[in-house]
Amino acid sequence: MSARIELDAVRKAYPARRSRGGARAETVAVESLSLVVEPGEMLALVGPSGCGKSTTLRMVNRLVEPSSGRVLLDGVDTATLDPVRLRRGIGYVIQDVGLLPHRTVAANVATVPRLLGWDRRRTSERVGAVLELVGLPVGAYGRRFPHELSGGERQRVGVARALATDPPVLLLDEPFGAVDPELRRRLQAELAGILAEIGSTVVLVTHDIDEAVRLGDRVAVLSRGGRLEQVAEPLAVLAHPATARVRDFVGDGASLRMLPLARVERADVTSLGPAGPGIGAADDRAEGVAGLPSVVLGAPLSEAFAALADGVGAGRPPGPGAPSTRAGAGAGPGRVAVTDAAGAVVGTLDADGVLAALRRAADAVSRPASGANEGRADR
């Protein structure tokens, strides 16, 4: 179950405050922002502090009321809905989780189902299901209290609570900001798997461009005042920044960030060539890549890059009749073998091939059109 979210020229401004020096202008948090998040999509809102990311998110569930403009869920203006009922139908995860310390894990997850009047049996079954989904079996964790959990476990409970009623929309406000980098990466991977399974529409707020491109189907880059600088697929944001502000925010290392997003394709691979005539010719050809690390067609380029950087297999002499990888290249270090899904070697990939694959991937995504940062972001 999922829903379409549309922000139509949404603006949020806070009234001016008088000071000794006279009246001050109003503070604009979000300026005429228009965005569409399609059903089942994850949109990552990213930008520097003070760019209106969290304000934008909270206007979806009316924790913050827009000064003007509309927020639509499946075409219905949320201003016409009861805000309490609206929020109970939207999953919401915040940075510090917000678990009730005097309630057990199971009771925390059951909060919204009970508010909605679910019976005990239905609530219990759903609590067990979502805790299992986030890797916290109810038998082992259901009776624990928040202070008895690690930071990562508390974060998982927060996600389970947000998913308890199978909401069509899930809002994530810096959900991993309070955990260490290693745990953060692990939770990101787990969350990606969970969201792929449930299919909700997701809006993620983060200040971390790596998190945004790793998790988002699209990335919306905001600047101060909630101005939309660019919205596009992660690879397009990294390869073709629409504005100087996007380029500055992405910073150095855009090519490295692109590696996990691009895939090894057959066009990137140097073929081993056909086996020659005679018994054992195919074995001779395979000998040329024996001992080399391998990646599978369709694997992220980051896997090939890591294997090349590790130098696994470096220094192995070429086998009899082994072809060169590229003009002037030997058959020893600096290559990885590439296999198909059945495990058969189809060729090799070297550092030049990885760079060429990155260029191919960057060229394949759309460059921002003129006026792409004006605010409308239909998918």
pLDDT per residue as tens digits for the range 334-359: 888 899 989 888 889 988 999 999 99
Question: What phi, psi does 15 have (nearest 5°)?
Answer: -60, 155
Closest CA to 2 of 39, 41, 43: 39
d(CA 336, CA 238): 26
Nearest to 236 by CA among 222, 215, 220: 220
35 closest CA partner among 235, 240, 237, 221? 221
Cβ atoms of 319 and 230 within 8 Å: the answer is no
Is the CA virtual torsion 280, 282, 284, 286 positive or negative?
A: negative
Any idea which residue has 């260490």 for tokens? 180
- Say if residue 37's pLDDT is above 90: yes
User: Bridge-partner residues for 77, per DSSP?
Assistant: 72
Q: pTM of the entire structure?
A: 0.80
Phi, psi dihedrals of residue 202, rounded to the nearest 5°: -125, 135
All domains in the chain, ordered by first residue: 5-258 (3.40.50.300), 266-313+331-362 (3.90.1280)
Contact between 93 and 172 (Cβ < 8 Å):
yes
Long-range own/partner contacts, residues 185-192 (CB < 8 A, 24 or more apart): 186/152, 187/152, 187/155, 187/156, 188/214, 188/215, 190/134, 190/135, 190/156, 191/159, 191/215
* pLDDT at residue 189 in the model: 86
| Residue 320 pLDDT > 80 | no
Residues in the chain: 379
Q: What is the 3-state secondary structure (H, E, C) of the chain?
A: CCCCEEEEEEEEEECCCEECCEECCCEEEEEEEEEEECCCCEEEEECCCCCCHHHHHHHHCCCCCCCEEEEEECCEEHHHCCHHHHHHCEEEEECCCCCCCCCCHHHHHCHHHHHCCCCHHHHHHHHHHHHHHCCCCHHHHCCCCHHHCCHHHHHHHHHHHHHCCCCCEEEEECCCCCCCHHHHHHHHHHHHHHHHHHCCEEEEEECCHHHHHHHCCEEEEEECCCEEEEEECHHHHHHCCCCHHHHHHHCCCHHHHHCCCCECCHHHCEECCCCCCCCCHHHHHHHCCCCCCEEECCCEHHHHHHHHHHCCCCCCCCCCCCCCCCCCCCCCCCEEEEECCCCCEEEEEEHHHHHHHHHHHHHHCCCCCCCCCCCCCCC
* CA contacts within 13 A on the Cβ side of 302: 11
Would you state the pLDDT for residue 23? 61
Residue 274's pLDDT is 58
- Specify the pLDDT at position 243: 94
pLDDT value at residue 125: 93
Band of the pLDDT at 376, cuts 50, 70, 90? very low
pLDDT tens string 182-213: 878 888 888 888 888 888 999 999 988 999 99
Instruction: Out of 224-238, 262-276, 306-320, 345-359, pick the least confident.
Output: 306-320
Token pair of 143 as six digits: 């009776």
Contact assessment for residue 225 and residue 52, using Cβ atoms and an 8 Å cutoff: yes
